[in-house]
Amino acid sequence: MAHLFRDLSLGHSKRESTPPPPPLQTKPPPMPTNKLTSTDLQSPLGQLASQLTDSDLRLTAYDVFLAVCRTSASKPLSTSASSISDSPSQNSPGQNHNHSPGSPALQRSLTSAAASKMKKALGLKSPGSKKSPGSAPSSGQGKSKRPTTVGELMRIQMRVPESVDARVRRALLRIGGGLVGRRIDSVVLPLELLQQLKQSDFSDQQEYDTWQKRNLRVLEAGLLLHPRVPLDKSNNASQRLRQIIHAALDRPIETGKNNESMQVLRSAVMSLASRSDGSLSDSCHWADGIPLNLRLYEMLLETCFDINDETSIVEEVDELMEQIKKTWVILGINQMLHNLCFAWVLFHHFVSTGQVEMDLLYAADGQLAEVAKDAKTTRDPEYSKILSSTLSSILGWAEKRLLAYHDTFDSGNVYTMQGIVSLGVSAAKILVEDVSTEYRRKRKEVDVARNRIDTYIRSSLRTAFAQASLYYLLLAPLLRMMEN
């Protein structure tokens, strides 16, 4: 790509590309905020028509994660498995285990040199010494806590308080008792949580009311506003559920009991969630409609980034991702949607963290290679719509920097130019070759990379010439006066 860009700028026609340069060994200073900011970067995954906040989505995503991983979320992390080998209650998912900061097992957990397969595939560095999420600075006094299980790591990464975690786990144990012979995707989780938890399970009335409203709004978003199966406007259950939710938002209902209010709510919810989407599965559809499922999944993928350093991915990402993928059955995610969402999350983190970690940009570009393969194998209209929106957002961001690159890049950030060009061209190629109906219809051979780079060069030259001409027009009278 660098050779192609350079040759075009010199007037040559050499058609070849080179892979991105090796990752920089030192982290460069952040780019000037007036040149590369994330304020013009809009999320392509869709906006919810409900009043759910990011905090609401994060807590709901955590509920889903715990529900699908209730038997495996307490699985020891491979980097710290030996640190709990002598624990008296290894199978207790909500329990924390303290260890001496100097113990070999803990040190192995915090400074594990075992490289993640996933990080290797993405070309991301695996530093030999790095603090684990949740680990406290060593002061030589007392004991420091650090995650020893996948579930505990996820709790820390999602910033979920221990009290909230324990409460959800208690409710899931009760729900699990009634799931003998049934899968977790055969229930509507927010409904079951409302059924199991009551006001006395919370520290105060405000916390209880906030929790109840969040779950009601999730039901509204998943069953009424963004359902997997389109709603018939004359559907009585949808009208009934809408009335129940709106009334409960004004005056909280009494949960945790099998009273009349909960029975009416259950009847309306199950009537909508049990509608078939055409498959032979008996799954309930309450969180698998677009864009709700994508936003919830985005929250889960965000946990792959270290809360202590958002420019890097946690060392335990392989194990974390293995558990995250178990949520697919509830969220209606597949490998293609995962590849696309993960590419977006990697790219968005590069932008939002100041564009200082080029590894993230290269990883996003590499993930787009997987997206390109997927795009050639499907014509699913829903996927194509999300694909087009995501790629257009990435390409739009890149081209704002490249169509007048003399104004964007200088000696302080020029090292990012090749990576941004490569990412923009990758997005453009998929849009042209796999999304554009005109391209598929005409089967016209187009060198997308060459055309895009040629456009960037010509546009930048025109902009630079126009600026120079304007400066000359402004300065000409002054120069004439000085000559006289």
CA distances, 115 to each of 156, 422, 472 (Å): 22, 26, 57
Contact between residue 363 and residue 346 where contact means Cβ atoms under 8 Å apart: yes
Q: Residues, the chain, total?
A: 484
- Those residues of the chain that have pLDDT short of 50 are 2, 5-28, 30-38, 79-113, 128-129, 136-144
Query: Count of H helices and E strands in the chain?
Result: 20, 0
> Which residues lie closer than 8 Å to 58 by C-beta, 6 or more apart?
158, 159, 160, 299
Contact between residue 356 and residue 27 where contact means Cβ atoms under 8 Å apart: yes
CA distances, 362 to each of 2, 136, 273 (Å): 14, 31, 41
pLDDT value at residue 51 = 87
pLDDT value at residue 169 = 93
Instruction: Give SS3 for 309.
Output: coil
* Amino acid at site 411: S
135-151 pLDDT tens trace: 544 444 444 466 778 88
Contact between residue 21 and residue 416 where contact means Cβ atoms under 8 Å apart: no
Contact between residue 365 and residue 20 where contact means Cβ atoms under 8 Å apart: yes
* Amino acid at site 47: Q
pLDDT value at residue 116 = 79
Q: Two tokens at 171?
A: 């409710």
What residue spans define the domains of the chain?
Answer: 1-25+352-484, 52-82+146-333
* Residue among 187, 185, 244, 235 nearest 216 (CA): 244
CA distances, 327 to each of 332, 333, 338 (Å): 8, 8, 11
Q: 10 Å Cβ neighbour count for 418? A: 19
pLDDT value at residue 76 = 64
